[in-house]
Structure 1
Amino acid sequence: MDSRKRILIKGGTVLTFQSNILVCDQLDVLVEYDKIADIGKNLVPSLETEEISAKGMIVSPGLIDTHRHLWQSAFKGYASNWKLMEYLNGMLGDIAPKMTPSDVYNGNLLGALEAVNSGITTIFDWSHIMNSDEHTEAAIRGLKVSGIRAKFGYGTPGTSVWEWFFESKKSHPVNAYDIKKKYFHSDNDLVTMALGIRGPEYSEMSVTKKDIAMGRDMNLQISMHIGGGAFGPKYQGIQKLHQQGLLGSDLNFAHGNTLDDKDFQLLADYGCSLSITPEVELQMGLGLPATGRAVKHNVICSLGVDVVTATSGNLFDQMKIALQAERAIQNEKMYQNGQMSEKLTIQDLDIFKMATIGGAKTLGLEQKIGTLEVGKQADIILIDVDKLGIAPYSNPVSTVVLYAKEHNVDTVIIAGKIIKRNDKLVNQTIDELILECRLNSYKFMEPSNEKLATEKL
């Protein structure tokens, strides 16, 4: 019997979109099992319905993180002063080969719970730590145990940064077929499968072509990094994919910082999606975030955390950084032309869309999640706006984008199941998990003997 039940969320400020129109009103939300059954005023609960008071709270669609490497969750601060090449050497060169399946399980579980705790109900786990079938199973199990909705991006082994991430000649592991058959049986499951490939900036074009063909043969969404710093102009990835006739709506690209207008127009024309991870991009020298250019060209775009080795793990920070970085970019252009901006051309509402319905569209899940609508999956968060630091509030959109933090997330519901209640995760032993991750991380302090990747550039 399904353990989920009827839940009535009463008296909150519902913040969502319906038919792309902003809805912000005092409404009740009725959940039946895994779906939203009704939204309206003064809904009356039946005897078997649990009632949750949302007075003084914003009721929002769950946030959606479309690009994160969850296995790295136990290494906070390791990359706090690293640029991109140092990250590739340090994480993929030194640490990844030493990871055990247990390490991967702990990292994925810890990272997924951190995400849920901060109001993220769906995540794309771009997992390039597939060192063995046991590593893969551990990563998947960590996602499933957490209760989060996820796309598991089956990536490459983390056994050698040389072989897999520098003009690689190695094709994507064909184990992907067996993994899908063994662990992923329905698109209606909470955790589904995608493919995380290297793409033209990290593998030869013939390899990219073969990898994309495999993903399409498996009917999976395919994600790759693109336009990351100097790699973008050097490899011209979007143009090469276009020339090979490979662009399509099943392709998701992370970053896009150094793409040009022609590239963005191609992404829009072919219905490709873009995951922007502003905090890590600013630090690691990938280029200025592409938020404004993606919006300008009507590209499907969303936000991601990327790596908690260098950045915070919540999407609230990414929303704020994406908004203010784009405003800085636009203001600087005006200043360089001897002008002062009279009006901000990107609004907090644009960013809230990216974190909700934009994320759903990026993952091809807009019919299920991303907004609060009758018939959609009940992925809902309640944000307490009566706490110090966020109160008093006047604009729900700016409150979410600019002021909210993890501790403001009072309740998290995923597919009708309460995962966080009264600011506490339900049925999770967090202290033991954190202690185990801390103790295990000591063995990663000594660098490996693999040469620095910079020597090959």
Structure 2
Amino acid sequence: MERKLFKNGIVLTMDEKLGDFKKADVLVEGSKIVEVGPSIAAEDCEVIDAEGMIVMPGLVDSHRHAWESVIRNVGADWSLQKYLGSIYYGNIGSKRRPEDDYIGNLLGSLEALESGVTTMLDWSMVISRDHTEEMIRGLKESGIRGVFAHGCPGDGEYWDRGSTLDCIDESKYIKQKYFSSNDQLLTMGLAIRGPEFCSWETAVKEIQTARELNSVCTMHLGFGTWGKVDRSIEKLNKAGLLGKDLNFAHATGVSPEEIKMLAEQGGSVSVTPEIEMMMGHGYPATGLCLENGLMPALGVDVVTSTGGDMFAQMKFTLQAERSRINEQLLAEDVMPGPPLNLHAKEVLKMATMADAEALLLDDKVGSLTPGKEADIIMLRTTDLNMFPVNDPIGAVVQCAHTGNVDSVFVGGKAVKRHGQMLHIDKKRIHTLAVEARNSIFEAYGNPDELWLV
């Protein structure tokens, strides 16, 4: 069995029992972490020099629409209403060919990997079985650890509060054909509309299907003007449907009582702070969750309007929540501090362990715990924006960016080394991505007079 020894790094384990190390080693056998600590004595290993590196678990993104990588940054000035009206209901999202979804998911996954994201949930918008299979092909080819969340088309007859349409039979087929085991790099979830975008009966049926398939069930819920009115989490709780396998994206408008229900009965919230603040979903629910006993997860969401890395999302999360509390204190004529209400370490946990828990993958990823998968990233501390290192957690959350990611390993396999992605044909990927973009906008038209270069 192939063995690797990561030697003499600053090791952030995200495992409270193990702790962190100023200088330590990580021993990997095959795809698994077997030991973490200083001066590990091991022979017959590939030694990976981690001197001058922060060694840590790969970042996890619990909510992303990967196919949109081929139309990235078209929505730099889009509100949520503009986004929904442009992507859904027979618009841009319906103009994709199967081959567009292949390259969209491949490009989106490689973007994530290059930035240190080793695990990602892909919240899909399925048009046909051919599209689904091409999405899966793109994810698999990238080498990312992922949850392919199988969804329905974006057409109006599906995204309507009275809709009884579903894709349950197709979800069962895809699960059986591609995801018969949960012990594989790519697993399956269900991306359902939830009770705010289809009929209650349909939402219940889809939740029950996800449980029958032993899959995480993710939905957009509790945001915008309707979030505080619908009280969907309360309804799910009354129906006895809450559980740790339910993931709610955004939840900016839900009540404190509903968050407490999730903390008690199970369920996760994926905060996507940058998109929520710019598009008008509502203020990120970070503090709402923490104040009511729930550690939120984090996600990128839509690369139509932001970049695909988690460093930015950690910064947005930290500063948005600190600003919320600081403004409350200033309004009361009180200066904030000395201690701030949210620490960098908590945010790093959101981007690792909390995200892993939301995807039901915390037994595999999220920390450098012996027995878990060797999803490991290395950040250079020799870069100008990183040295001298005084607080490595602060360096990761507040200072680091994608350019500092030196190496990325998924299941012990290197996908990036010395700042360069491995085993990819960048020219081919670029050509296919441009062809996909052109095909989509030739069918739809050029929104907002984009340059389309």
Q: What TM-score do the two structures reach when normalised by structure 1?
A: 0.94
2:14–2:368 CA contact under 8 A, matched in 1: yes
The equivalent residue for 1:136 is 132
Q: Secondary structure at the match of 2:14?
A: strand
The equivalent residue for 1:169 is 163
The equivalent residue for 1:308 is 303
1:272–1:299 CA contact under 8 A, matched in 2: no
Once residues 53 and 363 of structure 2 are traced to their aligned partners in structure 1, the CA distance between those partners, rounded to angstroms, is 26
- Quick one: which amino acid aligns to residue 338 of structure 1? D
| 212-221 or 25-34: bigger deviation | 212-221
Matches within 5 A, 1:187-266: 187-266=182-261
| 240-249 or 437-446: bigger deviation | 437-446
Which of 142, 145, 150 aligns to 1:146? It is 142
Q: What TM-score do the two structures reach when normalised by structure 2?
A: 0.94
Q: Percent identity?
A: 40
1:372-428 deviation digits (Å, cap 9, x = unpaired): 111111010000011122222211001110111111111101111111111111101
Q: Secondary structure at the match of 2:78?
A: coil
Once residues 288 and 374 of structure 1 are traced to their aligned partners in structure 2, the CA distance between those partners, rounded to angstroms, is 38
Once residues 172 and 5 of structure 1 are traced to their aligned partners in structure 2, the CA distance between those partners, rounded to angstroms, is 45
Once residues 260 and 266 of structure 1 are traced to their aligned partners in structure 2, the CA distance between those partners, rounded to angstroms, is 10
The equivalent residue for 1:377 is 373
- Quick one: which amino acid aligns to residue 15 of structure 2? Q
2:228–2:255 CA contact under 8 A, matched in 1: no
| 146-155 or 209-218: bigger deviation | 209-218
Matches within 5 A, 1:306-345: 306-342=301-337, 343-345=339-341
Deviation at residue 292 of structure 1 after TM alignment: 1.3
- Quick one: which amino acid aligns to residue 201 of structure 2? S
1:104–1:135 CA contact under 8 A, matched in 2: yes
- Quick one: which amino acid aligns to residue 122 of structure 2? D
Which of 413, 417, 436 aligns to 1:440? It is 436
Residue 55 (structure 2) pairs with residue 67 (structure 1): no
How many residues are paired up?
Answer: 442
The equivalent residue for 1:452 is none
Which of 120, 123, 130 aligns to 1:123? It is 120
Deviation at residue 295 of structure 1 after TM alignment: 1.6
Deviation at residue 268 of structure 1 after TM alignment: 0.7
Deviation at residue 5 of structure 1 after TM alignment: 2.0
5+ unaligned residues in a row in structure 2: which ranges?
Answer: 446-453
| 306-315 or 425-434: bigger deviation | 425-434
Once residues 378 and 355 of structure 1 are traced to their aligned partners in structure 2, the CA distance between those partners, rounded to angstroms, is 17
- Quick one: which amino acid aligns to residue 38 of structure 2? K
Q: Secondary structure at the match of 2:184?
A: coil
Once residues 213 and 165 of structure 2 are traced to their aligned partners in structure 1, the CA distance between those partners, rounded to angstroms, is 15
The equivalent residue for 1:349 is 345
- Quick one: which amino acid aligns to residue 311 of structure 2? F
Q: Secondary structure at the match of 1:431?
A: helix
| 130-139 or 333-342: bigger deviation | 333-342
Q: Secondary structure at the match of 2:363?
A: coil
CA root-mean-square deviation: 1.5
Q: Secondary structure at the match of 1:372?
A: coil
- Quick one: which amino acid aligns to residue 242 of structure 1? N
1:300–1:361 CA contact under 8 A, matched in 2: no
Q: Secondary structure at the match of 1:185?
A: coil
1:165-201 deviation digits (Å, cap 9, x = unpaired): 2314133302111101100121110000110100011
Deviation at residue 43 of structure 1 after TM alignment: 2.2
Q: Secondary structure at the match of 1:153?
A: strand
2:146–2:186 CA contact under 8 A, matched in 1: yes
2:231–2:255 CA contact under 8 A, matched in 1: no
Deviation at residue 446 of structure 1 after TM alignment: 5.7
Residue 280 (structure 2) pairs with residue 285 (structure 1): yes
Deviation at residue 22 of structure 1 after TM alignment: 3.9
1:266-292 deviation digits (Å, cap 9, x = unpaired): 111112111110000001101111111
Q: Secondary structure at the match of 2:157?
A: helix
Are residues 222 and 408 of structure 1, via their aligned partners in 2, closer, same or farther at CA, if it must alter by over 3 Å? same
